[in-house]
Amino acid sequence: MAGHSKWAQIKRQKGVNDAKRGALFTKLGNQISIAARGGSDPAMNPSLAMVIEKAKNANMPLSNIQRAIARVADKSAATMEEVLYEGYGPLGVAILVECATENKNRTYPEVRHAFTKHGGTIAASGSVSFMFERRGVVRLKETGDEAMMAALEAGALDVQEAAGESAVYTQPKQLAKVRDTLRAAGYTVIEAELIYLPQNVVKIQDAAAAEKIVRLMEALDDIDDVVNVYVNFEIDESRA
């Protein structure tokens, strides 16, 4: 679990300093369009509501959000679809690349090139994904025993603390319920989303090797069609 949390922190820190805000809006717009296929009313579609909330937190203009939702009803627009690519990075770490694209013939070569350029290899479907499980995660500003107990009572599977916040893990279908329960109880929800969580985390002791893995993950994340990158490693800071 710590492996996902560490990468999530890196991504957020990178996002604060990233001048390519337009690329971020493109990624969010793609996610909104895919979520809107389940219904264009966020009040009736929790998945859409969560992505819209994420977009608003990123200061995405309302007009962009509305266009992304309207794309679903536009018969002339290319159909967005979700694609999951699998691969291995340096030292054989497992990597999942979650994409939203209207053109897999463009997306796949870009993902494959990023793997190859940074010492990784793209793998066949199913060869890596079995190492991960689908989970919901709610990030809370609050930490401590009280927040942990509130999360567990709301239906969470587990709670982990890192970098001054709590990561509350849930079953996918319980994500919205747990988020709303905690918010109603007065807790500050930083973010809520569905993720792929590694079942086992590999500790990397070589800081230089870990940096190579992070560079590969950043290269993948810089691709417009890539929504999220998941990995099963963390740096062993006691020996790195």
> 155 or 208: whose pLDDT is higher?
155
Q: Does one domain contain both 189 and 209?
A: no
Range of the domain at 143: 131-198
- Find the mean pLDDT for residues 208-222: 91
Sign of CA dihedral 135, 191, 35, 84: negative
- Find the mean pLDDT for residues 222-237: 87
Task: List, in sequence order, the alpha helices (H) in the chain.
Answer: 2-17, 21-35, 46-57, 62-70, 104-117, 145-154, 175-184, 207-221
> 52 or 5: whose pLDDT is higher?
52
How do residues 48-99 score in pLDDT, each as one tens digit?
999 999 999 889 999 999 999 998 877 666 788 899 999 999 999 999 999 9
Q: What does the pLDDT read at residue 15?
A: 52
Q: Does one domain contain both 112 and 212?
A: yes
Any domain includes 27: no
DSSP class of residue 20?
Answer: -
Q: What confidence tier does 236 reach under pLDDT thresholds 50, 70, 90? A: low
Any domain includes 49: no
Q: 100: domain CATH number?
A: 3.30.70.980
The answer to whether residue 151 scores a pLDDT higher than 50 is yes
Any domain includes 26: no
Q: Does one domain contain both 179 and 150?
A: yes
Question: What share of the chain has pLDDT > 70, as a percent?
Answer: 88
Any domain includes 136: yes
Whole-number Å distance between alpha carbons of 225 and 222? 9
Any domain includes 184: yes
Q: Does one domain contain both 140 and 184?
A: yes
Whole-number Å distance between alpha carbons of 109 and 127? 19
Q: Does one domain contain both 185 and 142?
A: yes
Whole-number Å distance between alpha carbons of 157 and 169? 6
- Reduced 3-state DSSP string for 85-154: EEEECHHHCEEEEEEEECCHHHHHHHHHHHHHHCCCEEECCCCCHHHEEEEEEEEECCCCHHHHHHHHHH
Q: Does one domain contain both 109 and 152?
A: no
Whole-number Å distance between alpha carbons of 216 and 229? 10
Q: What confidence tier does 238 reach under pLDDT thresholds 50, 70, 90? A: low
Any domain includes 71: no
Whole-number Å distance between alpha carbons of 28 and 224? 10
Q: Does one domain contain both 119 and 88?
A: yes
How do residues 160-208 score in pLDDT, each as one tens digit?
998 889 999 999 999 999 999 999 999 999 989 999 999 999 888 888 8
Q: Does one domain contain both 180 and 88?
A: no
Any domain includes 59: no
Q: Does one domain contain both 194 and 140?
A: yes
- Find the mean pLDDT for residues 130-147: 95
Q: pLDDT averaged over the chain? A: 88
Q: Does one domain contain both 124 and 205?
A: yes
Q: Does one domain contain both 207 and 194?
A: no
Any domain includes 87: yes
Specify the number of domains making up the chain. 2
Q: Does one domain contain both 206 and 151?
A: no
